Structure 1
């Protein structure tokens, strides 16, 4: 299970600070976990995370591998706002079995189970998360989600990670334009995979670049594809890849 860092944001400006930065509407915190992202002004991915109301503070659950840079970015935006960003001292528990009392459903998909934040060691119940992610084309931090990603190509609308009615946030203009004025020509999709290839292997179709292959499980994988070239059998190293439209 990927390590997570659970941050605590506190201060009188916390809600307005987050609302002006992240892709989702934090009003959803009153109903459970909120999945969201922080983007560059050009609309590209910087980080994805979960938010949870905890009394008069907000917990932020982010991958440990990007947490330090993420905190630096939040601090840059904070300026004089009354917001404190600290490690919470809590850890993530998650699973797909019977949830503990403090658990909340993962908002991305019902099959992703529940998440809870406690002072116990980080743990899960042995669920094959890659199999679930591949089945439902759910991207993971630093695997399918990278600095080159646009969140609509990464299925954030389907994963309830972006709100088009909430108003301005960093990268909102580019994201809204992709939603309303263009047809996506690239994006993440589930593909059939005969064989295996390292994460990030280039996919070719007729000798031309057609995308990249990422997480694989049970004969399928998550791929980033150029849809105009995703035809017939494609190659990713020694693996044969087929796009099911």
Structure 2
């Protein structure tokens, strides 16, 4: 899109985090560093199982200066209650306040994006906002924009089914490998150290409507992965990297092609 667009994301919701221990509390749980998070800064992160599988994605937004010390967690609306419950379980004696907030979540994208909360995953994604500015487009337009950039989203990684590196979190500034311990760190760090990533989420292109979610991607007769979310002509897929290079790929009997974006090379 050539102009500045604002889309309210009904699929996202906010949790407000505050209290003297909020940084150290989140630091021990999330894949991203929050100790150095500045007011007005946005960081992409994940909450993992102890075995290192991705439970939930989230953005951590530093509260703007003058509004108190704390952060906003930008999470999937359908999982907000479960995330609140899990965070409360981990809180123990930490001096942290966790509250559901009615702030809206907006995506600001297109030309001329500036200001706080720039999306750290990819410059082309624009920024987030948590205020009452009017929308100029809808969430469907933003999702089409994200898919065009080859960026996977929550519909692709599900919950407890994927490792964050397979979901490209390491390439989207979603994991800080230099920070201290976090839940699921051992498995995540081991995958990074070994340097052999077998599976990645990559965009695929094809003619016609997207194959159904979970449709096998075949390299000849070999299974090379599965189709995830998408629309006409384009979808995300979780693919075996050792089976897609130079292969003739099909899904649902139709030819498909990997359209690897520059940021994923």
TM-score under structure 1 length normalisation: 0.89
User: What's the Cα RMSD here?
Assistant: 2.3
CA pair 15-77 structure 1, distance change in 2 beyond 3 A:
same
Residue ranges of structure 1 left out of the alignment (5+ in a row):
none
Q: Find out whether 1:174 has 2:182 as its counterpart.
A: no
Shift of 1:215: 3.1
Question: For 2:225, which of 205, 211, 222 is the aligned residue?
Answer: 211
Q: Which residue of 1 aligns with 2:211?
A: 197
8 A contact 1:37–1:48 mirrored in 2? yes
Cα distance per residue 1:9-49 (max 9 Å; x no partner): 11111110000110011134216101100101111001111
* CA deviation vs aligned residue, 1:84-130 (integer Å, no higher than 9, x gap): 111122111222145586x4211111111111112x38846447333
Report how many aligned residue pairs link the two structures: 243
Q: CA deviation at 1:159?
A: 0.6
The structural deviation recorded for 1:239 is 3.3
Runs of 4+ in structure 1 displaced over 4 angstroms? 97-101, 121-124
Instruction: Mark the CA change 1:4 to 1:244 in structure 2 (over 3 Å): closer, same or farther.
Output: closer
Question: In the TM superposition, what is the alpha-carbon distance from 1:156 to its structure 2 partner?
Answer: 0.9
Does the CA-based 8 Å contact 1:94-1:125 persist in structure 2?
A: no
Q: 1:212 to 1:28 in 2, by over 3 A?
A: farther
Shift in alpha-carbon separation, 1:10–1:229, aligned structure 2, 3 A: same
Runs of 5+ unmatched residues, structure 2: 1-8, 261-265
Q: 1:79 to 1:159 in 2, by over 3 A?
A: same
Please name the residue that 1:226 is paired with: 240
Aligned mates of 2:231, 2:197 — CA distance in 1:
26
- Report the secondary structure of 1:166's partner residue: coil
Matches within 5 A, 1:21-100: 21-30=29-38, 32-54=41-63, 55-97=68-110, 98=112
The more displaced of 210-219 and 165-174 is 210-219
Cα distance in 2 for partners of 1:197, 1:59 equals 36
- Aligned-partner SS, 1:30: coil
Aligned to 1:43, the other structure's residue is in SS state: coil
Query: Is contact 2:107-2:142 (8 Å) kept?
Result: no
The two structures have a TM-score, normalised by structure 2, of 0.82
2:128 aligned residue:
115
Q: Bigger relative contact order, structure 1 or 2, given CA contacts below 8 A and separation 6+?
A: 2
Structure 1 pair 136–58 and aligned structure 2 pair: CA distance change class (3 A): same
